Structure 1
């Protein structure tokens, strides 16, 4: 069996947007008891993250690290068609991921105790991000 659901994630600019509950609802709606859930983000300036969901300082520290690693407006970058955060957003995406697979067990995405799924917006402006959740059982 194959089932897919498309999600739209409205971001308010750079940061993390929890999609764990939406993914769990998509898995439940599929009727799958066991299988595989793949989450795919259709963009090149945002990414997906499987991260600790208990302490928000973890996400804050990740943002601080990436801000130091890939600086907005760095003169190294030629591609800046959409502003100083344009190429840094692409680099951040390439260094992370736009697809995550999670096993389905007992009718739900089998995440660890402290794991959550996030869209990580790398642009400073608000965007509508498209995510496809695909379930195979």
Structure 2
């Protein structure tokens, strides 16, 4: 069994849902060393999250952003944790709904995602800055 772990810093992105599958693959030349394994991707932030979903039609990402803004609206006045602005607590809630990590099977040196699947960075802050991911790859 082989184990690899590294930290990947992503460039700052605007608020929304961004495909980062290529960034992850580019950071892991070790993928080619594995026939069978798993990649665990964890984000080290509480106001951004990760998910796997549609990778082809950009309107899916727009619809995600629209839905989450309706579901967890910044227009509400019942939030107490607003030290960093109206997107502060709402970003934490959205991140908790989606979660901080995804696990992807590795098969014959490649991420074994479906044809229409990609990994998203879900940036919930208006100005989130650079985001750090921990990539843990293991297998044979």
Query: TM range, normalised to the smaller chain?
Result: over 0.9
Alignment of 1:48-67 (within 5 A): 48-67=50-69
How many Å separate the matches in 2 of 1:9 and 1:22?
8
Q: Offset at 1:27?
A: 4.1
Q: Which residue of 2 aligns with 1:127?
A: 129
Q: Which residue of 2 aligns with 1:40?
A: 42
Q: Which residue of 2 aligns with 1:81?
A: 83
- 1:72 and 1:85 in contact (8 A); partners too: yes
Q: Which residue of 1 aligns with 2:16?
A: 15
Q: Which residue of 1 aligns with 2:93?
A: 91
When the two structures are aligned, how many residues end up with a matched partner?
137
- 2:47 and 2:124 in contact (8 A); partners too: yes
Q: Which residue of 2 aligns with 1:117?
A: 119
TM-score, normalising length: structure 2: 0.91
2:32 is aligned with 1:6: no
Q: Which residue of 2 aligns with 1:28?
A: 29
Larger mean Cα displacement after TM superposition, 34-43 or 69-78: 69-78
How many Å separate the matches in 2 of 1:11 and 1:17?
11
Q: Secondary structure at the match of 1:93?
A: helix
Q: Offset at 1:12?
A: 3.1
How many Å separate the matches in 1 of 2:106 and 2:130?
27
Q: Offset at 1:9?
A: 1.2
TM-score, normalising length: structure 1: 0.93
How many Å separate the matches in 1 of 2:14 and 2:116?
25
Q: Structure 1, residues 55-83: CA drift from partner, whole Å, max 9, x if none?
A: 11111111111111111242111000100
Q: What stretches of structure 2 of length at least 5 have no aligned partner? A: none
